[in-house]
Amino acid sequence: MTVKANKFKAIASAAGDFSRDTGGAVALILGLTAVPIILAAGAAVDFYRVGAAQAEVQASLDASALAGAAAKPGTSSADRRRIALDTFSANLEGGFANKLAGDPDVTQDGDNFTVSYNGGLPTTLLRVGGFNQLGVDASATVRINLPARAEIALVLDYSASMTQYSAGKQKYVTMRKAAIEMVDGLTNNGKNRDIKFGLVPFSHNVYATLPGGFVVGAGGGNWSGCTYDRTYPYNLTANAPDGSNRSKWGQPRPVDFGDYREQSSYHCDGYEHNGRGYLANSLQVRELSSDHSATVSQLNNMRPYGYTNISLGVAFGWHLLEPGAPYAARDHDDDENKKFIVVLTDGKQTAPAFGPGGSRDRFDGEGNLSKLCSNIKSGDKITVITIAFALSDRATENRLRNCSSDPGKHFFKAENSNDLTRAFEEIRQQIAKSIFLSR
């Protein structure tokens, strides 16, 4: 036993000696491996920071190039440069503004007005490896005084729920103000006549003026009144009616107030709304127009009324942007012209719509919305932008998200009026970049 114990002591002693002898080597190895570990962590952090800085710089350059190029005709190059630099500084205020090294450069080559940035962002952990700065490079070019061509259909929910309050304001009032600011901002307060706006205020019906031959039972000449959707599958296309009643728009049948609740989705002036109809609330389709003061005037006059028929509103918005009858938009082959539908709703589909097999209920309307959006986007000629405003129905929210051309970019969820104001401003900037920027 003694011999074994001594052997164990010897082994333990030898192990201790080995541990002491190798301690310095382990420390050296750990020291050597710490550098690449720190560098790897630093790279992840600093490359994330430089990506965020790049995005901020690009957005600021876009805004500054647009501001400089949009200055009134006759503005000197020096003044355009000052406007651009001031705009860049204002847009970059906060965030990485005080961390970036370098200033933007402004150049003008004929009608091309360019603001560029070639600088860098100081690193944090990468300094351990001797990397003190990562490059940030971006540019934006705009044609000076180039008439921007665009057609924009605003498909706006004017159902009664839009009278509710959000952030201390009625929802439709916030929507109206944001829409007017978009019109004014994109048209330089009405001066740019190459940008056209159309309006589709929808509730349970859409009030429109159409050729009589396009409406069941309307006869010749033009017809004005409330419509409900065409029969399936005509209500999923932008094709004009082919002469058959199935391809035409319907018009409300006379209302017997005794059966009001059964027929409420068919008529304009419901008993429960005290006879206030679409015309009384200025809720009629406005064709694409460059008369921006008239567009703003209608936005100011429109008031909510009725229920919600999202799919019918989207269908009319699509028709507004098509070059064929019943309306007359620019041709899709006009590469200089951009087309947009902006759809806003605060509720789910409550009005019925025609579905396959002759069915007609609100669930058909929900399915029609998904199919309509897919058909609109299939031609890749129209950008669909959607807004869910204080919307508590998850299924409708998902339909709106999927309806947009790019859910990560063109879908907006506005929980309240303040969110909606910010959403419209971002949409305005997106459209402006698409129209004006040539980068």
Q: Output the pLDDT for position 146.
A: 61
Contact 151, 198 (CB under 8 A): yes
* In 51-102, beta strands by DSSP E: none
Q: Where are the domains of the chain?
A: 2-143, 149-436
Q: Output the pLDDT for position 259.
A: 33
Report the C-alpha gap between 411 and 402 in whole angstroms: 8
Q: Output the pLDDT for position 273.
A: 36
Q: Output the pLDDT for position 18.
A: 38
Among residues of the chain, what percentage have pLDDT more than 70?
81
Banded pLDDT at 271 (limits 50, 70, 90): very low
Q: Determine the average pLDDT of the residues in 378-382.
A: 91
Strand (E) or helix (H) holding 435 = helix 417-436
Q: Output the pLDDT for position 128.
A: 64
Quote the Cα angle for 391-174-292, to 5°: 120
- SS3 annotation, 265-308: HHCCCCHHHCCCCCCCCCCECEEEECCHHHHHHHHHHCCCCCCC
Quote the Cα angle for 44-49-50, to 5°: 100
Q: At residue 269, does pLDDT exceed 60? A: no
Report the C-alpha gap between 286 and 224 in whole angstroms: 12
Q: Choose among 264, 253, 267: nearest CA to 216.
A: 253
List, for residues 109-126, the tens digit of each pLDDT value.
887 889 999 988 887 766
Q: Output the pLDDT for position 422.
A: 94
Higher-pLDDT residue of 130, 430: 430
Asked if residue 323 has a cis previous peptide bond (ω within 30° of 0), the answer is: no
Q: At residue 7, does pLDDT exceed 60? A: no
| Per-residue DSSP letter, 172 | H
What number of helices (H) and strands (E) belong to the chain? Answer: 10, 15
Banded pLDDT at 392 (limits 50, 70, 90): very high
Q: Choose among 363, 263, 376, 388: nearest CA to 316.
A: 376
Question: Which CATH code fits 149-436?
Answer: 3.40.50.410
Report the C-alpha gap between 269 and 189 in whole angstroms: 35
Banded pLDDT at 48 (limits 50, 70, 90): confident
18-22, 71-75, 413-417: least confident range: 18-22
pTM score, whole prediction: 0.75
Contact 281, 306 (CB under 8 A): no
100-104, 254-258, 366-370, 382-386: least confident range: 254-258
Buried/exposed 422-431: b ≥16 CB within 10 Å, e otherwise: ebbeebbbbb
Contact 150, 341 (CB under 8 A): no
Q: Output the pLDDT for position 24.
A: 52
Banded pLDDT at 285 (limits 50, 70, 90): very high
What's the whole-number average pLDDT of the chain? 83
